[in-house]
Structure 1
Amino acid sequence: MRAVVLHAYGPAENLTYETVDDPVPAAGEVRIGVKAAGVHLIETLLRTGVTIGPPVPELPAVFGGEVAGVVDAVGPGVDESWIGRGVVTGTSRPGGYAELSVASVDALHVVPEGLGFEEAVAMIVTGTTTMALIDLGAPTADDVVLVNSAAGGIGRLLVRHARDIGAEVVGAAGGPAKVATVQGRAVDYDVPGWSSQVGEVTLVFDGVGGTRGREAFSLLAPGGRHIVYGNASREETDGPTPEEVKAKDITSIYAIERILAWPGGRRELEERALAQAASGRLTPEVQTFPLAEAAAAHAALESRATTGKVVLIP
C-alpha cells in the first residue's frame, strides 16, 4: 500500500509518500480501506520530536489515528459481517496517513446513514472534543460567547452551537480570509486593539492561547467561564494567574486535562458527535488534501493557513 512515512524528526517535508507493507489485522481487529484520514495539530509537533501530551513515535512512523473507510478484512475472532461496512475510529494503526489501516473492533463506529467519510472522520476527534467543551462551558441563551480560533475545526462547531441555542456569539480569527469564514459576528485578532470591538463577555472558548488568549481572558465579566482547549499560536505566554482568576471569580478550565480523564471514557462523546453531524445540527467544515500531499497539509496547518478540519484523501 501507499502511506506517508516519517523517517527523521523535523520539518513537514520529512513526510514522504512511499510504498510499505499492507497491515494485517490481529485478533479482535479489522482492516480498513481508508477513505479519509484526519490530521491533528499535535501531529505537527510530534513530527518535530516535541513531546506534547502523547509521546513522540518511534521511527519510522505513520501518523494519524483518525480514520474513516470501509472494512476489507477481519482478524481472528471478528465477525465477517463487518466486511464491507463503512466505519470510523479515532484509534487506528499503524496510522491513518495510509491507504490501509487497522483498528480494534471495539473502537469502531458504523458511519451513520447520510454522513460522508470526510465528515465522520472530522467528528471522531474534533467533534468529540467539541462535545466535551460544550459540556464544560455550558453555554446558554443568556451568554455572550467569545470563540478564539473560530475558523478552526473546533471553533466553527462551537460558534454554530452557541448561535443555535440563542447566545450572542463573537468569533475571533486571524486575517481577513479566515474572518470571512466565521458565521455571524467576527473580529480579526491579528489587528491591534481587536478586543475593543468585542466588549464584555461571559464565556470564552480559547483555542489559540498566547497574547490573544490573554486578551480574550481580559474581556470576561466577573463570574464568567474561561475554557482553554489549545494553543494554536504556539506562543509561550503564561495564562491567567490563580490570583487573576480569583479576583474576577472566573471558572477557568484547561479542557484537555478533563477530556483525557472523561468519566466513562470517550465513546459516549464520540457517539454524540456522530449523531449531531448525522442530524445536521453540527456540520463540520473540512479542508482536504490528497494523501500524497500530507507534507503540504502539515505546512498549511502549522502556518495557520487552513480552515475547518484538515483531512487527507487517499
Structure 2
Amino acid sequence: MNAVRLHAFGPAENLTHERTAVPVPAPGQVRIAVAAAGVHLLDTSLRQGIQGPPAPLPELPTVPGREVAGTVDALGPGTDPAWLGRDVVVHLGFAPGGYAEYAVADAARLHPVPDGLDAARAVAMIGTGRTALGILQFADLGPGSVALVPAAAGGIGTLLVQYAKNAGATVVALAGGAAKTAVAAANGADLALDYTDPAWPEAVRARHPDGATVLFDSVGGATARAALGLLAPGGRHLVFGWSGGPLDLTDAERADLTARGITTRGVLGPAMLQRAGGEDPLRLLETRALAEAAAGRLRPALTRYPLARAAEAHHDLETRATTGKVVLEP
C-alpha cells in the first residue's frame, strides 16, 4: 500500500510517500480502507521529535496520523462481523498509522459515520470536533456573552465561532490576514479582525466598550496579552494552546487580572475529561461532535491534500497557510 513514513525526526520534508506492507488487524481490531486522515498540530510536533503532552514520541520508522475515516475491509479474530463493509471513523489515540491507504483500529473505538457526513468531515469531528466541544464545556455561552476567538479560521476556531453563534453569543473573531478574516466573517462572526494589524484591540474596544466575557486562547503570546486587556470584569480566559509562544505576564499584569476578577483555566487533559464525565468521556465527546455535524449545527471547514502531499500539508499547517481542519485523502 501507499503510506507516508517518518524515518528520522525533523522538518516536514522528512515525511516520505512510499510503499509499505498492508497492516493485518489483530484480535478485536478492524482494518480500514482509509478515505480521509486528519492532520493535527500535535502531529507536527511529534514529527520534529518534540514530545506531547500528552502523546509520547513514536518509535521510528513510523506512519504518523491518529484520526481516520473509511470503510472496514477486514476483521481481526473475534471481531464483530457486523463491522465489515461499514463506513466508520475513529481516533487511534496514541497509536499512529493514519497517513496510509489502510489502517488498523480497535473495534471498540469505532463510530459509524452518520448519514449525510462524508469521510473528511467525520474525521475532522472525531478529533478537532471533540476537542472543541470539550473546551466549550467551560464557556457557558448564551445571549449577552461576547466571545473573543483568536485563530478563528482554524479547525477548532471555526467550530467555536459556529457554536457561540448558535448559543446566541456575539463573536469577535481574530485571524491572520484578509483572506482568513473573510473566512471568519463568512462563518458568522459579528466582527472579524486581522490580528497582524496593531490597531485590532482598539476596534474591539470601540464595538464592545464593556469588554468580552470569554477568551478562547489557543495562541498565547502577544495576541493573548492584548486580548486579556479586553476582557470584562469577571471574564474567563480558557487556555488550550500557545501557537504564538508563551504568555509571559508581568507581576503588574497578573495583579490587574486578579483585580478585575479574570479567571484563567487550562481546559485540556484531565480538566476536560472530568467535566465531560461518564465511563469514557472521550468517546462521549466524539459522539456529541459527530451528532452536531450530522445535524448541521457544526460545519467543519477543511483544507484537503492528497496523501502524497503530506509533507506540504505539515509545512502549510505550521506556517498558518491553512484554514479549517487539514485532511489527507489517499
Aligned counterpart in structure 2 of residue 251 of structure 1, from 263, 286, 309 = 263
Identity of aligned residues (%): 52
Are 1:197 and 2:203 counterparts? yes
Are 1:263 and 2:264 counterparts? no
Deviation at 1:286, TM superposition (A): 0.8
Tell me which residue corresponds to 1:67.
Answer: 68
Summarize the alignment of residues 1-314 of structure 1 with structure 2, pairs less than 5 Å apart. 1-53=1-53, 54-91=55-92, 93-183=95-185, 184=189, 185-199=191-205, 200-233=211-244, 235-238=245-248, 243-257=255-269, 258-259=271-272, 262-264=276-278, 265-314=281-330
Residue identity opposite 2:24 in structure 1 = V
Note if contact 2:15-2:311 (Cα within 8 Å) is conserved in structure 1.
Answer: yes
- The 3-state SS of whatever aligns with 2:48 is coil
- The 3-state SS of whatever aligns with 1:159 is helix
Deviation at 1:240, TM superposition (A): 7.8
- Unaligned segments of structure 1, at least 5 residues: none
* Aligned-partner Cα distance in 2 for 1:94–1:168: 39
Hey, which bits of structure 1, 4+ residues long, moved more than 3 A? 239-245
- The 3-state SS of whatever aligns with 2:268 is helix
Deviation at 1:136, TM superposition (A): 1.0
Task: Give the TM-score of the pair, scaled to structure 2.
Answer: 0.91
Note if contact 1:152-1:308 (Cα within 8 Å) is conserved in structure 2.
Answer: yes
* Aligned-partner Cα distance in 1 for 2:300–2:41: 17
Residue identity opposite 1:78 in structure 2 = T
Deviation at 1:260, TM superposition (A): 5.3
Residue identity opposite 1:62 in structure 2 = V
Deviation at 1:12, TM superposition (A): 0.3
Residue identity opposite 2:25 in structure 1 = P
Deviation at 1:194, TM superposition (A): 1.4
Residue identity opposite 2:67 in structure 1 = E
- The 3-state SS of whatever aligns with 2:184 is coil
Deviation at 1:243, TM superposition (A): 4.0
Taking a change above 3 Å as real, the CA distance of residues 240 and 148 of structure 1, as seen in their structure-2 partners, is: farther
* Aligned-partner Cα distance in 2 for 1:151–1:56: 29
State which drifts further: 194-203 or 4-13: 194-203
- The 3-state SS of whatever aligns with 1:198 is helix
Taking a change above 3 Å as real, the CA distance of residues 206 and 46 of structure 1, as seen in their structure-2 partners, is: same
* Aligned-partner Cα distance in 2 for 1:98–1:299: 19
Deviation at 1:307, TM superposition (A): 0.2
Deviation at 1:239, TM superposition (A): 5.5
- The 3-state SS of whatever aligns with 2:243 is coil
* Aligned-partner Cα distance in 1 for 2:2–2:43: 19
CA-based RMSD of the aligned residues comes to 1.5
- The 3-state SS of whatever aligns with 1:18 is strand
* Aligned-partner Cα distance in 2 for 1:106–1:273: 18
Q: 1:192-214 deviations in whole A, cap 9, x for unaligned?
A: 13111112211111121111011
Deviation at 1:220, TM superposition (A): 0.7
- The 3-state SS of whatever aligns with 1:294 is helix
Paired residues in the alignment total 313
- Unaligned segments of structure 2, at least 5 residues: 206-210
State which drifts further: 238-247 or 204-213: 238-247
Task: Give the TM-score of the pair, scaled to structure 1.
Answer: 0.96
